[in-house]
Amino acid sequence: MNYEAKVADLSGAPGMLVEEVEIETRQTRRRRLVIAAAIVLALLIGGALLYYGGGEEAPFPASDGQQVPTVTVVAPGRATVAGTISATGTLAARREMPVGVVGEGGRVVSVLVEPGQWVRAGQALLVIDRSVQTQQAQSSAAQIEVARADAELAQANLDRALQLVDRGFISKADVDRLTATRDGARARLRVAEAQYRELLARNARLNIVAPAAGLVLERNVEPGQVVGAGGTPLFTIARGGEMEALFDVNEDDLAVLTVGRTATVTPVGSDKTFSCQIWQIAPVIDAQDRQGIARCAMPYDPALRPGGFVSGDIARGTVVAPRLPESAIQTDEQGSFVKIVGSDNRVVRRNVRTGIVTDEGIAIVAGLEGTERVITRAGGFVNEGDKVNPVVSGAGR
């Protein structure tokens, strides 16, 4: 009888009991997931702290109950630091010679050279038609013969007059007149000769010649073209074939460069490297980009094409100075500085001046002797005057 009553009671609300059990099960699972997520998050945070702590020792309690941070320090010492300046630029002829018409010009008969050819000093580059000038020169030569004949006749008349003057047939005035005639004829002869030489010189300039030996870079003329003085140069020649790299260098690096420094040059698109030597440093700085030009000379090579872009590494020189990693150097409105640990294990700010930048670190050219204990990392998390626990990582190179 009792068993049947219990069964009746359960059968009256079977759906409600099953629902309550399912709700309790879901709540239990949710609590477990939340607890598991919290544990995973705590493990991740702990791992991140260990990873980014860089292996530094954990702070330990001081006698006054405060935590003293542990910092990594280095005594950099002093070393010889060699650096390079990376720069970009363009190739150009070291001494570019534009060649044009120096006379009256005329119609081009023939062009004798092409770009890429070597020429010697005085070699003809093109020929200009001179048919009219040739006739003028022949006319001038004939004028010389006429003037010479007049001068000879005047001299003969004077000689005969001098023979008759003693006999009284010719007066002194007649002799003076004949002498003046002779002198005038000689002068006209000299004028005719000078005019003839002038025409010959003008005709010679109709042959455009190379002013010096070198490599022809450009040709801007064709046969049949009428050319004259001024305007676009007909040819451009690199004297001696010498080339140079025009490096754009910022004003800080330009200040430490000197004539004679060496550099390596790599043309864009080429795997060949060339050596050059700085022969001129720009005396002015561009006001817009704060850069100047360092001109680096090199001999001719077929791979060097004027106008092409190049990259280069210029030897900056060497200094003997402490060298620190970049992480140890901070900057504010007062300039660059580092934080060092004094003898009492308290943090002290030290202003420094940086120098050559290398793959191994940055040279400190002023502000450090090299024996100080410099905080290499986490310097931004401690303040001047804070007490720290320094851990030496090793000597500077």
**CATH assignment of the domain containing 375:** 2.40.420.20
| pLDDT band at residue 120 under the 50/70/90 scheme | very high
- Determine the structural domain holding residue 377 and report its residue range: 69-80+321-395
Helix (H) or strand (E) holding 252: helix 251-256
pLDDT > 90? residue 215: yes
Q: Could you tell me the CATH number of the domain that includes residue 176?
A: 1.10.287
Residue 213 Cα distances to 46, 117, 125, 227, angstroms: 76, 11, 12, 23
pLDDT > 90? residue 121: yes
| pLDDT band at residue 92 under the 50/70/90 scheme | very high
pLDDT mean over 355-366: 79
| pLDDT band at residue 23 under the 50/70/90 scheme | low
Lowest model confidence (mean pLDDT) among 25-39, 89-103, 288-302? 25-39
Are 117 and 103 contained in the same domain? yes
- Nearest CA to 323 out of 78, 84, 85 is that of 78
- The span from the CA of 122 to the CA of 174, in Å, is 54
Are 141 and 271 contained in the same domain? no
| pLDDT band at residue 168 under the 50/70/90 scheme | low
- The reply to whether 51 falls in a domain is no
Q: In the chain, what percentage of residues exceed pLDDT 70? A: 86
Residue 293: per-residue pLDDT: 92
Are 273 and 262 contained in the same domain? yes
- The reply to whether 37 falls in a domain is no
| pLDDT band at residue 9 under the 50/70/90 scheme | very low
- DSSP string over 255-270: HH--TT-EEEEEETT-
- Domain boundary (281, 302, 317) is at 317
- The reply to whether 45 falls in a domain is no
- Domain boundary (218, 241, 264) is at 241
Residue 219: per-residue pLDDT: 93
- The reply to whether 1 falls in a domain is no
Are 124 and 136 contained in the same domain? no
Q: Could you tell me the CATH number of the domain that includes residue 298?
A: 2.40.30.170
Are 105 and 236 contained in the same domain? yes
- The reply to whether 7 falls in a domain is no
Are 147 and 283 contained in the same domain? no
Are 332 and 386 contained in the same domain? yes
Are 192 and 154 contained in the same domain? yes
- Domain boundary (216, 241, 266) is at 241
Are 308 and 329 contained in the same domain? no
Residue 310, number of CB atoms within 10 A of its CB:
22
Identify whether the C-beta of residue 295 lies closer than 8 Å to the C-beta of residue 260: no
pLDDT > 70? residue 180: yes
Beta bridge partners of 249: 292
- The reply to whether 36 falls in a domain is no
| Helix 131-165 vs helix 172-204: crossing angle, to nearest 10 | 160
- The span from the CA of 388 to the CA of 344, in Å, is 9
End-to-end CA distance of the chain: 98
- The reply to whether 304 falls in a domain is yes
- The reply to whether 74 falls in a domain is yes
- Nearest CA to 339 out of 75, 347, 331 is that of 347
Residue 22: per-residue pLDDT: 59
Q: DSSP 3-state assignment of 70?
A: strand
Residue 265: per-residue pLDDT: 92
Q: Could you tell me the CATH number of the domain that includes residue 236?
A: 2.40.50.100
- Nearest CA to 349 out of 394, 386, 321 is that of 386
Helix (H) or strand (E) holding 173: helix 172-204
Helix (H) or strand (E) holding 143: helix 131-165
| pLDDT band at residue 62 under the 50/70/90 scheme | very low
Q: DSSP 3-state assignment of 331?
A: strand
| pLDDT band at residue 216 under the 50/70/90 scheme | very high
Q: DSSP 3-state assignment of 86?
A: strand
| pLDDT band at residue 187 under the 50/70/90 scheme | very high
Are 303 and 201 contained in the same domain? no
| Phi, psi at 338, each rounded to 5° | -130, 165
Residue 46: per-residue pLDDT: 62
Are 161 and 193 contained in the same domain? yes
pLDDT mean over 111-117: 92
| Phi, psi at 125, each rounded to 5° | -100, -35
Using only C-alpha atoms, what is the Rg of the chain? 47
Lowest model confidence (mean pLDDT) among 242-246, 250-254, 361-365, 377-381? 377-381
Identify whether the C-beta of residue 356 lies closer than 8 Å to the C-beta of residue 316: yes
| pLDDT band at residue 19 under the 50/70/90 scheme | low
Residue 310 Cα distances to 265, 295, 314, angstroms: 6, 13, 13
Lowest model confidence (mean pLDDT) among 16-20, 26-30, 137-141, 266-270? 16-20
- The span from the CA of 94 to the CA of 264, in Å, is 17
Total number of domains constituting the chain? 4
Are 255 and 306 contained in the same domain? yes
| pLDDT band at residue 54 under the 50/70/90 scheme | very low
Provide CB contacts within 8 A for 233, sequence distance 6+: 98, 99, 100, 218, 220
Residue 315, number of CB atoms within 10 A of its CB:
16
Residue 55, number of CB atoms within 10 A of its CB:
9
382 exposed, middle or buried (CB, 10 Å; 0-12, 13-18, 19+)?
middle
- The span from the CA of 360 to the CA of 324, in Å, is 8
pLDDT > 70? residue 396: no
